[in-house]
Amino acid sequence: MAGDVSVQLTYAVTWREISDGLKIQLRHSSVGRWCYRIMWVLGAFLAFAIAATVLSRGIGAVDASTWSAFLITCLLVAGVHRVTALGLLGYARHLGEHRVTVDASGIRTATERHTQETGWQFYGRCVEGRRVFVLLTPDASGSGVMILPKRGLAAPQDEDRLRELIAGHLGRLPAG
């Protein structure tokens, strides 16, 4: 890999890309995995309690608060990253078109309202998804996230160059 290699991305952020990035973040951070497991356990417990109550005392014995707790848990498991992505989309649209340069020194992002330069040492790893590259900070929650949509690349060979650049600084990329 040559030292002067850089890759350019130009894109307007979409909900799908943010949603994909957040799903990857949840899957590849210990805090995200634990939170997801806790929600599943809570949902399973509530489902079991409701089923046991219905079988032993009938459907009328399950009160509205139990049904609402179960429904809320199901909605959280299914949609927390979707709702979060929707909120982040408003912010990303406010910034406008993103022009990102990835090179040996790090990542530079320029938008209509914001410019940011981040060195490679900020990120600890990267996970590649079908539509995006997701760079995560090394902390347990992977709270620092950079989502780089593949559709923002100018040419198909840029995807391989970007993958090489990231792997050269952060190590091998696991699949999302």
What burial letters (b/e) apply to 16-51, b meaning 16+ CB within 10 Å?
Answer: ebbbbbbbbbbbbbeebeeebeebeebbeebeeebe
Phi-psi region of 150 (alpha: psi -120 to 50; beta: other; left: phi over 0): alpha
Q: How confident is the model at residue 176 (pLDDT cuts 50, 70, 90)?
A: low
Predicted TM-score (pTM) of the model is 0.75
pLDDT at 1 (0 to 100): 46
What is the number of structural domains in the chain? 1
Does the residue 107 lie in any domain?
yes
Does the residue 2 lie in any domain?
no
Does the residue 13 lie in any domain?
yes
pLDDT at 106 (0 to 100): 94
Amino acid found at 66: T
Does the residue 79 lie in any domain?
yes
Q: What is the pLDDT of residues 129-139, one digit of tens each?
A: 999 999 998 88
Does the residue 164 lie in any domain?
yes
Q: Calculate mean pLDDT across residues 3-32.
A: 86
Domain residues for the domain of 131 are 7-170
Cα 16-38-23 angle, rounded to 5 deg: 15
Does the residue 176 lie in any domain?
no
Does the residue 32 lie in any domain?
yes
Does the residue 1 lie in any domain?
no
Confirm if 78 and 23 have CB atoms less than 8 A apart.
no
